[in-house]
Structure 1
Amino acid sequence: MSFLKNKKYVASGVTVILILIFWLAFGSESEDNPAIYTTPKQGTFKVEVTTTGELRAKNSTSIRGPEGIREFRIFNVPIQRLVPEGTVVQKGDFVAELDRSEITSSLQDAQLELEEEKSQYESAQLDSTLTLSQARDNLINLEYSLEEAEIAVEQSQYESPATQRQVKIDMERAKRELEQARKNYKTEVRKAEVTLREIETDLTQQRREVQRIQEVIKQFTIYAPENGMVIYKRNRDGTKVTEASSISAWDPVVAQLPDFSVMNSVTYVNEVDIQNIRKGQLADIGLDAMPDKQLTGVITDVANIGEQHPNSDSKVFQVVIEVNEADTTLRPAMTTSNTIHISSVDSALYVPLEAIHSQDSVDFVFKRDGLEPVMQQVVLGLMNDNDVIIKEGLGMNDQLYLSTPPDTANIEKNLLSPEVLQKYQNQENEKKIEADPSENMTPERELESTRRGENGPPANRSNR
């Protein structure tokens, strides 16, 4: 009987001890601010950038409007009619009609000038005809005068020497006048020919001007240069050329006929993540319209210059991802979700970003040591949107605070040895020498890289 009582007392004592341990472990924290813990994880760590993009054909044929309208001082032409986007057309099918009002005005002015040139040419012909006709009449009269003078010379042989001398002088004068008139007539003929030739040249040029305008006017009705699907041209600001829009004389493209055999996903990456994007990186591509379809791609182009998008405070950089698969269901302007694979580390030890804090350029975590927290310095590696690799300072069984402990005034600090820190610093320097980080980096990227560190998280980690 006494044995049973002793056994009962032992069981009660064990229960009390377990309750005390449970209270010390979980109940000693403030009920207003209970501690939340986590432990490091180990496995494959992936650094990825997720973006939203839009499908576009890698190659396409431009449907162009009239060329050379700048010669007629026309710089923008409104579109009166345009087939709906997505229309499948055959070569020679109607695509668009442009506003002819301005070019028609130029044609009318050119036709008026042509009529004036014609009038001038006809007037010059009449003047030349009249002038030469008078010159020919004058030649005939002078020939008659010379003939009369020769007759007078023949009849004066029986006259006095003085009279004979006088009629001979008159005959010589008549000869000279006739010869001079003949020379003048030849000069008048050449002068008339030059005048008519000049006016005829102007007339020909004006006719060609009218013909050129008429040929350009024909181009205001635009037809498909080949078979395909009409996709509206996209301007630099992201807007599309549609009906009632205007096309520029410097770039008179109305629409595109894309080649669906090779597609690109065009996306924009913010200035913080762009420093990690390189040509040749692989990406997974999903389609919002077809969630079950998964595609792959490779980055073929990364913009060096950022641009400001509307309703955005930060700059973004255009990134082009070429789709590996050829799929007949892909269409331009489809929305894509792109996951760009930056890097991957096997058997990495990593923790949530919320557990990382920074003070005076020192990265640390709050680690549980028995029943009290301590500040543990750590060396960070690659990071993604949620986690960061711990290179040094933690083990798999450590318990970390996800929130700041309530009392950190006299908290113990565990710092890494200078030798350990120097080792990782040397490794970082070697990486920077092997892969020049300044290559293809804009000033915005260099500034962000300096602030953030190539492989480390931002300075305000504790606020994430």
Structure 2
Amino acid sequence: MRLHRGGRLRWPTIGLAAVVGIGVLWHGRAAPALPTAEVKTGELVDFVELRGEVKAVKSVTLNAPSSTDGDLQIISILKNGTGVKTGENVVQLDTVKLQRTREQQQSDLKRAEAEIEGAQAQARLQEEQNRTELMQARYDVERARLDVQKQEILSAIEAGKTKLRLATAEQRAREAEQKLRSGRAAAAADIESKKQKRAKALFEVQRAQRGIESMTLKAPVDGMVTILPNWRGRFFGANAPEFKEGDRVWPGAPLVELPDLSAVRVAARVDEAERGQLSLGQTAVVRVDAVPDKEFTGTVSDISALAKIDFSTWPPPKNFDLALRVAQSDPRLRPGMSATARVAIDRVPGALLIPVAASFQKGGRTVSYVLRGARFEERTIEIARRNREQIAVARGLRAGEKVALRDPTEEASRR
């Protein structure tokens, strides 16, 4: 190899060029293909998220009769979602036992009526007999009086006998009159007692008939059938199944609801930790699982004052019942549909917002990676407020910048 003038300087120059070349290549690489989000100015809404179900604000509940002894059995029940008109049958319960009772009561009623007829017939016979005896007694009195009138031509002894016979006849007449009156009173009392017995038997028959009629649950208003859960058929930790044909129900059990879907609410439960953040009148955004293309607005309309134990999980937590009145109606809404509600508990207007996924922890600092040309630049940011999905940035970012949703340094280390 031949030596050239200045040859000693050529090797360092080549080396420096190589180093510079490598640096340019590293800095000039295209940014990793990472998802990004734009930094925007908007309102940060801090919220409490609740799960619940849709219910009608007004509804009519059909209950099993509460005046029966023991359980009842469902013979037939309309399907969920069936539209009904006022007066139509919705649920039919078993009436066999009540029909047997009614037949027994009807037999008792017929027997009571027969007893009344017998007592009335006996009273009429006794009345005739007493009347005959009274007439005979009065006849004897008149005949005795005629005999007394003949005392002028009779001896003193005979006259005394006739007076005695007259007194005896008059006494018998008085006794016959008294017997007639007492017989009438006794017959009337006996008949009245039997009438009361008949009235009681008739009442039992009518009650049995009303009981049979109450086994048919009819729609008191127009509506749509919503079958309620059978809590007896619920296993621990599972949802209660709906009532169905063949189920046995307890007296007074709520079986079916006919909701007025012109106004609906979301019934939810809130735990003790979040109860203090909620109050009446707070607004909410409601999404119904079965209506994914529509977002509803709502208002907190009721919060229970006392906590209840929820046995659907273990250990059972204490929480509060909460109701959200939904402002809009939709013909697709049905009672029992699952819904998610986000109740706004605080608002920060004019905030610089990024997704929670756009912030990272690096050496005790909170940073974001801002897209600058072909690379990501690490910046320390200061968080003002945050919710579950967004962060309000106090310093470090500007509106319109794009930030990485995944850590680019980790992506580079995987390559």
Match of 2:410 in 1: none
Structure-2 change in CA distance of 1:189 and 1:384 (3 Å): same
Map 1:345-364 → 2, pairs under 5 A: 345-346=348-349, 347=351
Match of 2:262 in 1: 261
**Corresponding position: 1:322 with 2:325:** yes
Q: Does the Cα contact within 8 Å between 2:353 and 2:390 map onto a contact in 1?
A: no
Match of 2:313 in 1: 311
| Per-residue deviation, residues 44-82 of structure 1 (Å, max 9, x unmatched) | 65422223222122112334555xx62xx5354322100
For 2:220 and 2:129, the matched residues in 1 are separated by 62
Q: Percent identity?
A: 23
Match of 1:210 in 2: 205
Cα offset, 1:203, TM superposition: 1.2
Cα offset, 1:99, TM superposition: 0.7
The one-letter amino acid of 1:316's match is: N
Match of 1:27 in 2: none
Match of 1:276 in 2: 277
The one-letter amino acid of 1:266's match is: A
Q: Does the Cα contact within 8 Å between 2:291 and 2:333 map onto a contact in 1?
A: no
Structure-2 change in CA distance of 1:367 and 1:297 (3 Å): same
Cα offset, 1:332, TM superposition: 2.0
Instruction: Name the SS for the 2:261 alignment partner.
Output: coil
For 2:355 and 2:297, the matched residues in 1 are separated by 29
For 1:159 and 1:43, the matched residues in 2 are separated by 141
For 1:118 and 1:383, the matched residues in 2 are separated by 84
Q: Does the Cα contact within 8 Å between 2:55 and 2:335 map onto a contact in 1?
A: yes
| Per-residue deviation, residues 155-178 of structure 1 (Å, max 9, x unmatched) | 443232132122112212211221
Structure-2 change in CA distance of 1:81 and 1:328 (3 Å): same
Map 1:147-162 → 2, pairs under 5 A: 147-162=142-157
Match of 1:142 in 2: 137
Cα offset, 1:234, TM superposition: 4.2
Q: Does the Cα contact within 8 Å between 2:63 and 2:252 map onto a contact in 1?
A: no
Match of 1:358 in 2: none
Structure-2 change in CA distance of 1:2 and 1:269 (3 Å): farther
For 2:273 and 2:392, the matched residues in 1 are separated by 19
| Per-residue deviation, residues 96-135 of structure 1 (Å, max 9, x unmatched) | 2111023223313322321332233233224323433332
For 2:117 and 2:158, the matched residues in 1 are separated by 52
Aligned length: 348
For 2:331 and 2:50, the matched residues in 1 are separated by 24
The one-letter amino acid of 2:162's match is: V
Q: Does the Cα contact within 8 Å between 1:306 and 1:317 map onto a contact in 2?
A: yes
- Which residue, out of 336, 339, 342, partners 1:339? 342
The one-letter amino acid of 2:136's match is: N
- Which residue, out of 110, 115, 126, partners 1:120? 115
Q: Does the Cα contact within 8 Å between 2:291 and 2:332 map onto a contact in 1?
A: no
Match of 1:52 in 2: 51
Match of 1:425 in 2: none
For 2:279 and 2:8, the matched residues in 1 are separated by 77
RMSD across aligned positions (CA): 4.1
For 2:290 and 2:390, the matched residues in 1 are separated by 31
Match of 1:223 in 2: 218
**Corresponding position: 1:299 with 2:306:** no
For 1:53 and 1:183, the matched residues in 2 are separated by 83
Q: Does the Cα contact within 8 Å between 1:74 and 1:103 map onto a contact in 2?
A: no
Match of 1:164 in 2: 159
The one-letter amino acid of 1:52's match is: R
Cα offset, 1:138, TM superposition: 2.0
Q: Does 1 or 2 have the higher relative contact order (CA < 8 Å, sep 6+)?
A: 2
Structure-2 change in CA distance of 1:2 and 1:319 (3 Å): farther
For 2:304 and 2:352, the matched residues in 1 are separated by 32
Cα offset, 1:386, TM superposition: 7.5
Q: Which has a greater percent of strand?
A: 2
Instruction: Name the SS for the 2:203 alignment partner.
Output: helix
Q: Does the Cα contact within 8 Å between 1:54 and 1:333 map onto a contact in 2?
A: yes
Q: Does the Cα contact within 8 Å between 1:92 and 1:223 map onto a contact in 2?
A: yes
Structure 2: gaps (5+ residues): 1-5, 24-40, 366-382, 398-415
Q: Does the Cα contact within 8 Å between 1:271 and 1:317 map onto a contact in 2?
A: yes
